[in-house]
Structure 1
Amino acid sequence: MFFIRTAGKQDLEKISALLAETWHDTYDRIYGPDKVADITAAWHSVEALKTQLARPGSEFIVADDGERIGGVAFAAMADAKAKTVMLHQLYVRPGCQGQGTGAMLLAEIVEAFPDASTLRIEVEPANEKAVSFYEAKGFEKVGETSDCGVTGNKSGIPAAIYERPLP
């Protein structure tokens, strides 16, 4: 049984490893193992995760069972004026999927931003598991991007943009 807690510096190596494992499991068939390795080295390195951990107006959480981290989520205010939160990461270790861990992480993210009105996420359209998960949680497709995961730079990774109103 996992419980949700705030991520700390002591978790970053385990989170980085979880993200690499999850990305390879999900995206090797879509992008190929070499591109996935490059992405995880850039986006999911301990140094990149340290930046996330220190970001103001964000929530960085893990699902922990006392022995391992089974999932991770990171979200931050994308537009304070529009009250929009961007869910940058929500990943569950492949062997832990389908057990409600993703739903627990998502619920905690929603609770962490009580003044927000919209939750947004970018999803690779070929990631059918993720698309199904988010649609089942009330997200609707509102657009597309050709540069997933970056702000002001070009990743060249396409994604569908989904949003969900918050209570």
Structure 2
Amino acid sequence: MFFVRTASRQDLEAISALLSQTWHHTYDGIYGAEKVDEISASWHAPDTMEARLEKLNAEFIVADDGIRLGGVAYAAMDPSQAKVAVLHQLYVHPDCQGEGIGSDLLQEIAEAFHDATTLRLEVEPANEKAVAFYEARGFSKTGHTESCGGDSGIPADIYERRLR
């Protein structure tokens, strides 16, 4: 059984490995393994993620069963839009998908932002499992960006869900 808890510095290596494995499982067929390696080296390096641990108005969580991490999520309030929290990551290890971990992580994120009225995320349109997951949990497509995360050059659809 997995429990959701706050991520710590001791988790960063395991989070990095989880994200790399999950990205290869999800995106090799879309971007190719070489591009996924490039993205993981940049976005998922422990040093890159460490700043999230101390960030104000943010939530960085993991699903932990005492032996391994089964999932990770990170969200933060949008500094340019009051009342909007942005889900930057929600990934479940391929071996743990379908066990409710993603739903548990999403619920914890949604409950963490008491002042937010909207939860926003970006998702690769070709990632049909993720699109179906978010739509089943009340998210609706509200837009599109040609550069996921602001500077990646990777297109993504924007989804939102009202929180309150």
Normalising TM by the smaller chain, what interval?
A: over 0.9
Partner AA of 1:163 in structure 2: E
Number of residue-to-residue matches in the alignment: 164
Q: 1:26 to 1:162 in 2, by over 3 A?
A: same
Q: Percent sequence identity over matched residues?
A: 63
Distance in 2 (CA, whole Å) between partners of 1:61 and 1:6 is 4
TM normalised by structure 1 equals 0.96
Query: 2:111 is matched with which residue?
Result: 111
Equivalent position to 1:158, from 151, 155, 158: 155
TM normalised by structure 2 equals 0.97
Partner AA of 1:155 in structure 2: S
The unaligned stretches of length 5 or more in structure 2 are none
Q: Secondary structure at the match of 2:134?
A: helix
Q: Secondary structure at the match of 1:149?
A: helix
Query: 2:78 is matched with which residue?
Result: 78
Distance in 2 (CA, whole Å) between partners of 1:111 and 1:37 is 33
Q: Secondary structure at the match of 1:114?
A: coil
Distance in 2 (CA, whole Å) between partners of 1:87 and 1:27 is 19
The offset of 1:81, in angstroms, is: 4.9
The offset of 1:119, in angstroms, is: 0.1
Does structure 2 retain, via aligned residues, the 8 Å contact 1:83–1:117? Answer: yes
Partner AA of 1:107 in structure 2: Q
The unaligned stretches of length 5 or more in structure 1 are none
Task: State the Cα deviation string for residues 95-145 of structure 1 (Å, max 9, x = none).
Answer: 000110000000000111011100000000000000000000000000000
